[in-house]
Chains A and B, each alone.
Chain A
Amino acid sequence: MSLINYLVLSGILFSIGAVAVLVRRNALVAFMGVELMLNAANLTLVTFARMHGDLHGQVLAFFVMVVAAAEVVIGLAIIVSIFRTRGSASLDDVNLLKN
């Protein structure tokens, strides 16, 4: 099986993630979109590592996972605290910084 398929898959996953971030109002779903995009990127990194036969890509994928884990913790904390104070998790309600 050609490694190209992995790249195509990661492109599809990335697009789904991006669309989810752009079109969904729910903060949790948008957040899942972000995670999907990160994982698509990870998949690309691992694929290229395999294609070129060096480990840099895989190492980088681990980095991304660590950062993503931290990001999830902080992101979820923010979303929970927003939900507690405002009673909703809609992204469009959080626009106090406009203008």
Chain B
Amino acid sequence: MTVTNLAWVLIAAPMFGAAVLLLAGKRSNAWGHWLGVLASAVSAVLAIGILVELLGLPAGDRASQLSLYSWIPAGDFSVDVGLLIDPLSVTFALLITFVGTLIHIYAVAYMAQDAARRRFFAYLNLFVASMLVLVLADSYALLFLGWEGVGLASYLLIGFWNHRTDYAVAANKAFFMNRVGDMGMLVAMMLMFASVGSVDFETVFAAAPGTNEGVLTATGLMLLLGACGKSAQFPLQAWLGDAMAGPTPVSALIHAATMVTAGVYLVVRSGPIFEGAPTAQLVVVIVGAITLLFGAIVGCAKDDLKKALAASTMSQIGYMMLAAGLGPIGYAFAIFHLITHGFFKAGLFLGAGSVMHGMNDEIDMRGFGNLSKYMKITWITFAAGWLAILGIPPFSGYWSKDKIIEAAFVGEGWQPWVFGLAAMVGAGITAFYMSRLFFMTFHGKARWNDGKNDLPGVEQHPHESPALMTVPMIVLAIGSVALGGVLMIGDGFTTWLEPVTGVAEHHEPVLPAPVIIIATLVLVLLGAFLAWRQYAAAEVPITPPAGSWLTRAARADLYQDATNETLVGRPGEHLTRVLTYTDTAVVDGAVGGLGSGAVGWGERWRRLQNGFVRSYASLMLVGVVLALVVVLATRV
């Protein structure tokens, strides 16, 4: 009996936790949150056990399938529930359970004042279980089950405080936009079934090289649509900013570290499909490049700490998408950046939650300033995440982001120049907005009401958060500092993923690698310096200045909502109006007309029924005579 055979417990433990917490109801209020933590921790320990076991095997034997039961046996179409344990899925399982457990612990303190804390932990456990189904599935059908499960958990948690209408609306928005992506997933599965006759990873990938390129391109694009919905990539990015309505641990776990990266996982996992469809791959890269710049620009203008971090998440996932679209040379780096990003972005979000905790849930960065004096641990852990996302060596982000930028410069023709420069410029903008939010929050002059000055707002007494919150932050900060470097020792991480992502042949980028590294660093330092000059050295106005047209556009999320409204919302409304009219006028008209016509004729004929037997008799006689005449007339 090996540990790998117990992989189903990874999913079962948090699922059990969620079931107990939801079914036991109020009775479990007292201990429910600890059960939630325990369920997640069991999975984390098991995931580490599986990792250790896989590391003990030769690289070729690390992938194994664990068949659980037959799920949909329907003639030619049969889907089994099976788990795929390979380096990629185990990497994800580790990220999900480890970061998930830390965030569970953090949430015990963060949600302590909330009456519905038990329900919150039930949803968190449900999320962890669904996410593990997603990454451990061995077929697209089972993956889709997890895909929908995390969507549900995300919806429930964004709208956790649904007594506020705008939060409930944000949850709906996320759900609807994800449905658009899910349609793509469904169509992709139908295409696979139509062309290959199966939705198993193994069968589909084995058949992919021999499949028509048009079919592969269509499948790839539909998968990309699904990935765009889940990962908030252009053009389905609009929901992520509003999703910050959820409690901060949710933003950290679901909308930064794990769920939103599921799209990247999907693209990397579907590698064999994308490799047969260069057009689809190019579209993936373009989507990634657009989103990374889009998110970075939006991030520069947001004054809401969490929304700025959300824009940053979008931008960083853009980097991963870009790398995933580059093919085997990018897969490992996409996953690598995903892991390091999972750590430092979760740490940043937890830091933001800690700041909110100490500042009466204030979230506007223009009302912060000089908090480093009051929240030492938060400040230091946040700084670790900040340096990591900037990509300053030797912090985690440097190792992963730099590799992506380098990979983006590989290729022929116009593509390496466009994508490489986009990634490089994106790194510079990232440095600007991340430094902006770091300096605005922790440095400069205090812009909050401390009871002695006459600044607006409630009186604030900033204080450090309890140990239950700071310890997870410290652990994540250590990850932000060291994880990237440790995983890259001797290219360990890329070698570990090679059985799944394939061996990447080494290609020379169009610019020499040292030039790329130095140029990126110069841009990053320049961005950080500009932010320092404007937001730490100079005074930050409490009321936001009007700003240039670009600032205003970025504040309005580059008009993403207005665009959606114009392109989709309004035409949709018109379409429904036309359909409603057609329904009432044509369909209902025809059916109703038949009915009222029959009634009208009935009214006429009713007059004949006067109750006088003799008039009936005379009618009968007339009828008989007529019939007789007809019969005789035809015989003559």
Using a CB–CB cutoff of 8 Å, the interface residues on chain A facing chain B are: 18, 21-23, 25, 30, 91-92, 94-99
Interface residues of B in 585-612 (CB under 8 A from A): 606-607, 609-612
User: Which bracket fits the contact residues of B?
Assistant: 10 to 19
The residue in B606, B609, B617, B618 that gathers the most chain A C-beta atoms within 10 A of its C-beta is B617
Quick check: B614 and A91 within 8 Å, CB to CB?
yes
Quick check: B609 and A22 within 8 Å, CB to CB?
no
A20 to chain B, nearest CB (A): 11
Task: Chain B residues near A21: list those with CB within 8 A.
Answer: 614, 617
Task: Chain A residues near B614: list those with CB within 8 A.
Answer: 21-23, 25, 30, 91-92
Task: Chain B residues near A97: list those with CB within 8 A.
Answer: 609, 611
Given contacts A22-B618, A22-B621, A98 and B609 within 8 Å (CB-CB)? yes
Quick check: B617 and A95 within 8 Å, CB to CB?
no
The 6 closest A-B pairs by CB, nearest first: A95-B611, A98-B611, A91-B613, A98-B610, A97-B611, A22-B618
Task: Chain A residues near B621: list those with CB within 8 A.
Answer: 18, 22
Q: How far is the CA of A30 from the CA of B614 in the complex (A)?
A: 9
Interface residues of B in 602-636 (CB under 8 A from A): 606-607, 609-614, 617-618, 621
Nearest B residue to A23, CB-CB? B614
A19 to chain B, nearest CB (A): 10
Quick check: A95 and B606 within 8 Å, CB to CB?
no
B489 to chain A, nearest CB (A): 99
In addition to A22-B618, A95-B613, 10 A-B residue pairs with Cβ atoms within 8 Å of each other are A21-B614, A21-B617, A22-B614, A91-B613, A91-B614, A95-B610, A98-B610, A98-B612, A99-B606, A99-B609
Nearest B residue to A24, CB-CB? B614
Q: How many A-B residue pairs have CB under 8 A?
A: 34
B258 to chain A, nearest CB (A): 75
Task: Chain B residues near A18: list those with CB within 8 A.
Answer: 621
Quick check: B610 and A99 within 8 Å, CB to CB?
yes
Query: What are 14 sample pairs from A and B whose C-beta atoms fall under 8 A apart?
Result: A18-B621, A22-B614, A22-B618, A25-B614, A30-B613, A30-B614, A91-B614, A94-B611, A95-B610, A95-B611, A96-B611, A97-B611, A98-B611, A99-B610
Nearest B residue to A91, CB-CB? B613
Q: How far is the CA of A22 from the CA of B614 in the complex (A)?
A: 5
Nearest A residue to B625, CB-CB? A18
Task: Chain B residues near A30: list those with CB within 8 A.
Answer: 613-614
Q: How far is the CA of A94 from the CA of B607 in the complex (A)?
A: 17
A70 to chain B, nearest CB (A): 20
Q: How far is the CA of A96 from the CA of B621 in the complex (A)?
A: 22
A41 to chain B, nearest CB (A): 12
B66 to chain A, nearest CB (A): 78
Task: Chain A residues near B611: list those with CB within 8 A.
Answer: 94-99
Nearest A residue to B613, CB-CB? A91
B609 to chain A, nearest CB (A): 6
Task: Chain A residues near B617: list those with CB within 8 A.
Answer: 21-22
Task: Chain A residues near B618: list those with CB within 8 A.
Answer: 22
CB within 8 A of A91: which of B607, B610, B612?
B612
A95 to chain B, nearest CB (A): 3
Q: How far is the CA of A91 from the CA of B613 in the complex (A)?
A: 7
Given contacts A18-B621, A22-B618, A22-B621, A94 and B613 within 8 Å (CB-CB)? yes
Nearest B residue to A21, CB-CB? B617
Q: How far is the CA of A20 from the CA of B287 in the complex (A)?
A: 97
Q: Mark B524-554, 1 if CB is under 8 A from A, else 0.
A: 0000000000000000000000000000000
Q: How far is the CA of A25 from the CA of B612 in the complex (A)?
A: 10
B610 to chain A, nearest CB (A): 5
Nearest A residue to B610, CB-CB? A98
Quick check: A92 and B606 within 8 Å, CB to CB?
no
Q: How far is the CA of A11 from the CA of B408 in the complex (A)?
A: 110
B128 to chain A, nearest CB (A): 73
Quick check: A92 and B609 within 8 Å, CB to CB?
no
Q: How far is the CA of A92 from the CA of B614 in the complex (A)?
A: 8
Interface residues of B in 298-351 (CB under 8 A from A): none
Q: How far is the CA of A98 from the CA of B612 in the complex (A)?
A: 8
Q: How far is the CA of A93 from the CA of B618 in the complex (A)?
A: 17
Q: How far is the CA of A21 from the CA of B617 in the complex (A)?
A: 8
Q: Mark B212-254, 1 if CB is under 8 A from A, else 0.
A: 0000000000000000000000000000000000000000000
A5 to chain B, nearest CB (A): 22
Q: How far is the CA of A22 from the CA of B615 in the complex (A)?
A: 8
Q: How far is the CA of A94 from the CA of B610 in the complex (A)?
A: 11
Q: How far is the CA of A91 from the CA of B618 in the complex (A)?
A: 14
Nearest A residue to B607, CB-CB? A99
Quick check: B612 and A92 within 8 Å, CB to CB?
yes
A2 to chain B, nearest CB (A): 22
Task: Chain B residues near A95: list those with CB within 8 A.
Answer: 610-613
Task: Chain A residues near B607: list those with CB within 8 A.
Answer: 99
Task: Chain B residues near A91: list those with CB within 8 A.
Answer: 612-614
Q: How far is the CA of A84 from the CA of B609 in the complex (A)?
A: 25
The residue in A23, A25, A92 that gathers the most chain B C-beta atoms within 10 A of its C-beta is A92
Q: How far is the CA of A23 from the CA of B613 in the complex (A)?
A: 11
Nearest A residue to B606, CB-CB? A99
Task: Chain A residues near B612: list those with CB within 8 A.
Answer: 91-92, 95, 98
Q: How far is the CA of A99 from the CA of B611 in the complex (A)?
A: 7
Q: How far is the CA of A18 from the CA of B612 in the complex (A)?
A: 16
A54 to chain B, nearest CB (A): 22
Nearest B residue to A97, CB-CB? B611
Q: How far is the CA of A30 from the CA of B618 in the complex (A)?
A: 13
A50 to chain B, nearest CB (A): 23
B110 to chain A, nearest CB (A): 78
Q: How far is the CA of A96 from the CA of B612 in the complex (A)?
A: 9
Q: Mark B119-141, 1 if CB is under 8 A from A, else 0.
A: 00000000000000000000000
Q: How far is the CA of A5 from the CA of B377 in the complex (A)?
A: 131
The residue in B606, B609, B614 that gathers the most chain A C-beta atoms within 10 A of its C-beta is B614
B173 to chain A, nearest CB (A): 61
